[in-house]
């Protein structure tokens, strides 16, 4: 009798395994069409050589973050020569640049493939005439009205932001703070940073401080060391976070010297923004490895962007790639209603469908929280598919990740 029972259990298990295998097959088919890592690396190497042939620079220069920053592509003629753009396309870039600044690091430009118009890297980096369409707000988060001290944005009881610079290695076309970019790069002055630190020191409920901008890691090593040291010595500040996209757009910035600074002030939490799996390169992995070795805890805050990552399997692939380089998928942000970025916006339903396509179908670690920012700076609202069908004093009726309805006791 026991043997018969075991056979039945095995049969049921095999049937269940077959169902799960069938569920996994569409994603496996997607992966079979994804280019292999060697071909991606070879294509990037070719584009890197072309960029260096046009703008100059040795291999040693390429690996120097200051050289990368100084040689950002900001001239449409050079961009057109590198990518093979037409005169009309170049003039469109110039038209947008009269209103919104742009700049692309040589490294990030090397990730744009030959079919550039359909490339998710190109769409994030190169101006698009749709940015000139009406609609949106320059400050949808009302940061100007939530700044009780210089450089400070405060929207929550126990945490706040210090905005330390308007500089980035690449000016994302979907940037929520494009109003701050201006015509020149400018770090916050020392007086304003000191005033921000004084505000934090005077408000004992502040336990969590996020340093951002712009890009926090484009401060000099000296300035970053000073700022982290001052925060680290405020007794009630328990954790420091850094907001940076340099692992994505300028991984050369993650130097041994920078890591030595980060190592001095644990715990440091670093949130970056990978939006597409093609951004997860060997250089990005090397940068993240260095940060992890320095004791930093890494998280990713992707932005859901139409035409870039609004397909469920693209987001799944991205999150799998991130976990392989020890970056925890933390948030997927619904794109904010920023002026000039309407063409990137998806519906909330599309975001919910992506989360549903992840939950249960892949590791829980690969399922970030989907966030909609409330207008006017009222904070983050987490959204997820509704798994509660009924909840009373006696029971809960719930829906599983497969859509099966189950009942559990509520006592």
Chain-centroid distance of CA 203 in Å reads: 30
Structure confidence by residue, pLDDT tens digits, 323-333: 999 999 999 99
Please check whether residues 173 and 295 belong to one and the same domain. Answer: yes
Residue 261 maps to a domain? yes
Per-residue pLDDT at 359 exceeds 80: yes
> Residue 407 domain-assigned?
no
Residues 217 and 360 in one domain: yes
**Do 51 and 178 fall into the same domain?**
no
Statement to judge: residues 237 and 102 lie in one domain: no
User: Which domain-ending residue is among 77, 100, 128?
Assistant: 128
Q: Confirm whether 10 is domain-assigned.
A: no
The gap from C-alpha 157 to its chain's centroid, in whole angstroms, comes to 25
* All residues at 6 or more sequence positions from 36 whose CB lies less than 8 Å from its CB, including other chains: none
As a whole number of angstroms, the distance between CA 244 and CA 260 comes to 17
Calculate mean pLDDT across residues 331-336. Answer: 97
- For residue 141 the two structure tokens come to 């988060």
Q: What is the pLDDT of residues 370-393, one digit of tens each?
A: 999 998 888 999 999 999 999 999
- Are 46 and 163 contained in the same domain? no
- Give the DSSP H/E element, type plus range, for residue 53: helix 37-55
On the question of pLDDT at 1 being above 60, the answer is no
Q: Count of domains in the chain?
A: 2
Rounded (5°) CA angle 109-114-117: 85
pLDDT in tens, 58-103: 999 999 999 999 999 999 999 999 999 999 999 999 999 999 999 9
Strand partners, 124: none
> Is 99 within the bounds of a domain?
yes
pLDDT > 70? residue 267: yes
Crossing angle (nearest 10°) for helices 190-202 and 221-232: 20
Residue 195 forms part of a structural domain: yes
CATH number for position 325 = 3.20.20.70
| Residue 30 domain flag | no
Average pLDDT, stretch 197-222? 97
Contacts of 285 (CB under 8 A, 6+ apart): 324, 325
Looking at residues 271-296, what average pLDDT do you find?
98
* 203 and 58 inside one domain: no
Is 375 found in the same domain as 307?
Answer: yes
Q: What is the pLDDT of residue 184?
A: 84
Percent of the chain with pLDDT over 90: 91
Q: Are 107 and 187 contained in the same domain?
A: no
Average confidence (pLDDT) over 3-13: 80
Q: Which one of 103, 128, 153 terminates a domain? A: 128
Report the pLDDT value the prediction gives residue 143, as an integer from 0 to 100. Answer: 85
What per-residue confidence (pLDDT) applies to 4? 62
Q: Are residues 371 and 312 in the same domain?
A: yes
229-246, pLDDT tens digit by residue?
999 999 999 999 999 999
Same domain, 160 and 247: yes
Cα torsion angle, 213, 329, 121, 41, sign: positive
For residue 208, what is the enclosing H or E element?
A: strand 208-212
3 state SS of 156: coil
Query: Considering the domain boundaries, does residue 259 fall inside one?
Result: yes
| Cβ-based burial of 78 (10 A; exposed 0-12, middle 13-18, buried ≥19) | middle
Segment (H or E) for 302 = strand 297-304
Confidence grade of residue 5 (pLDDT, cut at 50, 70, 90):
low
Q: Indicate whether 8 belongs to any domain.
A: no
- Point out the domain boundary residue: 97, 128, 159: 128
Considering the domain architecture, whether residues 324 and 358 belong to the same structural domain is answered as: yes
Residues 253 and 167 in one domain: yes
Domain limits for position 263: 143-380
pLDDT given for residue 140 in this prediction: 86
């Amino acid at each position: 009798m026991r043997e018969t029972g075991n056979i039945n259990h095995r049969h049921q298990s095999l049937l269940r395994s077959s169902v799960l295998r069938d569920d996994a097959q569409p994603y496996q088919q997607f992966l079979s069409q994804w280019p292999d890592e060697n071909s991606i690396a070879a294509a990037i190497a070719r584009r890197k050589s072309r960029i260096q042939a046009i703008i100059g620079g040795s291999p040693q220069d390429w690996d120097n973050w200051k050289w990368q920053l100084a040689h950002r592509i900001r001239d449409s003629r050079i961009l057109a020569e590198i990518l093979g753009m037409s005169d009309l396309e170049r003039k469109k870039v110039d038209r947008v640049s009269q209103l919104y600044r742009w700049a692309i690091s040589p490294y990030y430009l090397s990730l744009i493939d030959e079919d550039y118009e359909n490339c998710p890297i190109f769409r994030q980096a190169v101006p698009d005439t749709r940015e000139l369409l009406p609609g949106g707000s320059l400050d949808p988060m009302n940061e100007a009205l939530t700044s009780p001290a210089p450089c400070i944005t405060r929207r929550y009881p126990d945490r706040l932001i210090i905005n330390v610079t308007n500089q980035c290695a690449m000016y994302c076309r979907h940037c929520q703070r494009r109003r701050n970019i201006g015509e020149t790069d400018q770090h916050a002055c020392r007086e304003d940073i000191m005033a921000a630190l004084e505000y934090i020191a005077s408000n004992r409920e502040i336990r969590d401080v996020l340093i951002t901008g712009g890009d926090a890691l484009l401060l000099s090593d000296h300035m970053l060391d000073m700022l982290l040291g001052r925060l680290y010595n405020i007794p009630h500040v328990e954790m420091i976070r850094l907001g940076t996209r340099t692992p994505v757009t300028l991984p050369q910035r993650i130097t041994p010297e920078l890591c030595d600074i980060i190592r001095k002030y644990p715990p440091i939490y670093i949130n970056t923004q990978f939006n597409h799996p093609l951004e997860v390169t060997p250089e990005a992995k090397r940068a993240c490895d260095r940060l992890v070795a320095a004791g930093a805890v890494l998280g990713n805050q992707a932005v859901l962007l139409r035409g870039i990552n609004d397909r469920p399997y693209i987001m799944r692939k991205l999150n799998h790639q991130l976990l392989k380089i020890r970056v925890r998928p933390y948030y997927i942000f619904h794109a904010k209603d920023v002026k000039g970025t309407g063409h990137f916006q998806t519906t909330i339903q599309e975001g919910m469908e992506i989360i549903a396509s992840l939950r249960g179908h892949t590791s829980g670690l690969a399922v970030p929280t989907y966030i909609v920012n409330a207008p006017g700076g009222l904070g983050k609202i987490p959204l997820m598919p509704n798994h509660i069908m009924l909840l009373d004093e006696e029971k809960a009726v719930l829906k599983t990740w497969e859509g099966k309805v189950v009942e559990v006791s509520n006592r």
